[in-house]
A and B are shown apart, each in its own frame.
Chain A
Amino acid sequence: MTLREKIAAGRFVVCGELGPPQSGDDEVIRKKAAYFRGIVDAVNITDNQTAIVRLSSIASAKILLEEGVEPICQMTCRDRNRIAMQSDLLGAAAMGIENVLCLTGDHQRFGDHPEARSVFDLDSVQLVATVNRMKEGYLLSGQEMKKKPDFFIGAAANPFAEPMEMRIIRLEKKITVGAQFIQTQPVFDLDRFAEWMRLVRSRGLHTQCAILAGMLPVRSARALDYMQREVPGMRIRPEYLQRMRDSATPQEEGVRIAVEIITTLRAMEGVRGVHLMPVMWESITPRIVEEAGLMR
């Protein structure tokens, strides 16, 4: 069963996340694939995250497919204009990559090429619209395609950034133009997330798309502290920071926190799955999935 079918069947899905290497070494991806095979339903492949050059997400997705793991290919608007984007999407479709997550992308100022020229020809809402249009069989130019690519369109949402009303408006826009699943920023503030979910439910948005809550397991207090300071749009409850600091075995504590949050998220109405994104700590994925009782 594909991710799309599992969501349609009402299964609580689990997505992982894989950051491609900063080299052309496919072995790295094949090795990491073992952490996900048979454990998660699909794996996000980041597209040059934080604007640092990495192996292309579509190429990585193809390697994952070969390894028997379903990929979710992330697409950002930072590096490509509408021509390159559509061409890459067609390439993805040709290789059997159907899950696409449309993002605006981090600004290049955060990355290793801050002097680069950004593109931002489309924004994420318009990218979702573009992919949806391709799904209907047309390119942006109006050119009809003989074979329609059957994409499963995802988009991101950040329940933690201000202002809340604007967040819901943007989510609504993405759903109107064709987003079928939504992945959120990592949850480290359950109250705020619950409040956001309440607004989502009150507008009936959770019935129009599948909401997958983000979860980022951390292995040290320093990592959590860094995220709070440096990662834009994060909101972390101080109690988690304190727990990580106080713990003698921060890795264990990180897993405990992750499992706790997942358990709470799972009980929330309208949450259809979780998206685990242990940055540079992919190897922990199986353990968390197992301890959270989500093993298939």
Chain B
Amino acid sequence: MDFITTEKKKYTQLEKRLSAVLLFIEDIIKIPLFRCQRCGECILSHTAFICSQRCPKRMRNGPCGGPGVDGSCEVYPDRKCVWIRIHRRARLLGRIALLRRVENIHDWNLEKTSAWWNVVTRRIEPPTLFIRKTKSEKQSHDAA
């Protein structure tokens, strides 16, 4: 299994400019809608369109062991744990299967670059927009 990506193309000068322009548009959309944290390695589509990077521990692979029984964040108790919100939304949208993915170790070089450009240039995986529901999942959804 390879969740550790080490070989990534370096940004050229032209790309840097392009990414900056794209990021400007991306920010206008993603910051108000998802409170995007501009990590450049967007996994929004796997996390039911809630930005996981808002977590104080920046967890990419699910919640830490800390949320309270009421679902509050352990670090900022007046907030709801972002991963609990992700789970609830994923259930609603039938996207639980995507939460099972092991997410790559974050490449900090991509911080503040355009995730869209990174998808186009294959630096990161493309978003999974549609998923086919498996039978067992439909059943478990109905049961719940």
Binding site for B on A (CB under 8 A): 78, 82, 104-107, 109, 118, 120-126, 129-130, 133, 140-142, 156-158, 161-163, 165-166, 169-170, 172-173, 176-177, 185, 232-233, 235
Contacts and interface: CB of A to CB of B under 8 A. Distances in A.
Given A123-B57, A166-B83, A176-B102, A232 B4 contact: no
Interface residues of B, number: 35
A140 B65 contact: no
Contact of B63 (A106, A141, A166): A166
Contacts of A158: 65
Given A162-B67, A173-B100, 6 more contacts: A157-B65, A165-B91, A173-B102, A177-B102, A233-B64, A233-B67
A126 B99 contact: no
A232 B68 contact: yes
30 contacts: A104-B65, A107-B57, A107-B66, A109-B75, A118-B56, A118-B57, A122-B105, A123-B57, A123-B59, A123-B61, A125-B102, A125-B103, A126-B61, A126-B103, A126-B105, A129-B105, A140-B6, A140-B105, A142-B6, A157-B65, A161-B65, A161-B67, A162-B71, A165-B96, A166-B99, A170-B61, A172-B100, A176-B1, A232-B67, A235-B69
B59 A163 contact: no
A109 B108 CA distance: 24
A245 to B, nearest CB: 21
A172 B65 CA distance: 15
Q: Which of B74, B83, B96, B99 has the most CB of A within 10 A?
A: B74
B74 A233 contact: yes
B84 interface: yes
B3 interface: yes
Contacts of A118: 56-57
Give the top 10 A-B pairs by smallest Cβ distance, nearest first.
A158-B65, A232-B66, A232-B74, A125-B61, A170-B62, A233-B65, A107-B75, A233-B66, A166-B87, A126-B105
A82 B56 contact: no
Do most interface residues of chain B lie in helix, strand or loop, or is the interface mixed?
loop
Contacts of B87: 163, 165-166
A235 B66 CA distance: 11
A120 B66 contact: no
Contact of A107 (B74, B99, B100): B74
Contacts of A177: 1, 3, 102
Contacts, number: 109
Nearest to B140: A165
A140 B7 CA distance: 11
Nearest to A129: B3
B67 A129 contact: no
Q: Which of B57, B71, B84 has the most CB of A within 10 A?
A: B57
Contacts of A106: 66
Contacts of B16: none
A91 B60 CA distance: 27
A195 B69 CA distance: 16
Interface in B72-117: 74-75, 83-84, 87-88, 91, 96, 99-100, 102-103, 105-106, 108
B8 interface: no
Nearest to B58: A120
Contacts of B62: 125, 166, 169-170, 173
A104 B102 contact: no
Contacts of B65: 104, 156-158, 161, 185, 232-233
Contacts of A141: 6
A140 B108 CA distance: 14
A179 B58 CA distance: 21
A106 B64 CA distance: 9
Contacts of A172: 100
Contacts of B67: 161-162, 232-233
A173 B61 contact: yes
A282 B54 CA distance: 38
A161 B63 contact: yes
